[in-house]
Amino acid sequence: MQLTPLIAVHMTAAIGAFVIGPFALWARMGSMQRPWLHRAAGYAYVTFMLLAAFTSVFIRDFQLPNLHGFTWIHLLVPVTLISLCVAFRALIRRDFVTHRITMQTLYVSACVIAGGFTLLPSRYLGQLIWHDWLGWL
């Protein structure tokens, strides 16, 4: 696998979601709440997550165990889309607890955990970082 424009867009969106997510998630917590920051970062986070989810559908990996090029990490696409629907439905119903829990769970599962798995040496990004850039493996 090589770095294609599609993978570059996906990687940029995923890194953007990873970086902006904490601002969206924790701008409403604590004694100094910033609703404008929460809303602006939230829109950016959702945009990045949607872009990452949609571009990942077109990224296939035939080297890892797969089904027609789709690996187990592709299961996060419907999880992401369903989570965003649940979160926005909760907002419409003014159920802020469900909205918060859903968005925090989505960030941890899709950004932190899945992002960690992409850094494994057997994955493209892990190979690029650990082998090509750092020369450790």
Calculate the CA 11 to chain-centre distance.
9
- Alpha carbon of residue 127 to chain centroid: 20
Kindly report, residue by residue over 100-126, the tens digit of the pLDDT: 999 999 999 999 998 888 888 877 788
Whole-number Cα distances in Å, 30 to 35, 40, 44, 51, 116: 12, 18, 22, 30, 28
Residue 1 has a pLDDT of 65
- The residues pairing with 67 across neighbouring beta strands, listed in sequence order, are 70
Place of tokens 């955990």: 113
What percent of the chain has pLDDT above 70?
88
This model's pTM is above 0.95: no
Q: Please report, as a single letter, which amino acid is at residue 129.
A: I
Average pLDDT over residues 58-74: 71
Domain that holds residue 68: 5-133
Task: Give me the mean pLDDT over the 25-36 stretch.
Answer: 76
List, in sequence order, the alpha helices (H) in the chain: 5-26, 35-56, 76-92, 96-106, 114-118, 124-126
pLDDT at position 69: 64
How many structural domains does the chain have? 1
Interatomic CA distance for residues 86 and 108, integer angstroms: 16
| Residue whose token pair is 């493996």 | 137
What average pLDDT does the structure give for the chain? Answer: 87
Q: Which of 12-16, 44-48, 64-68 has the lowest mean pLDDT?
A: 64-68
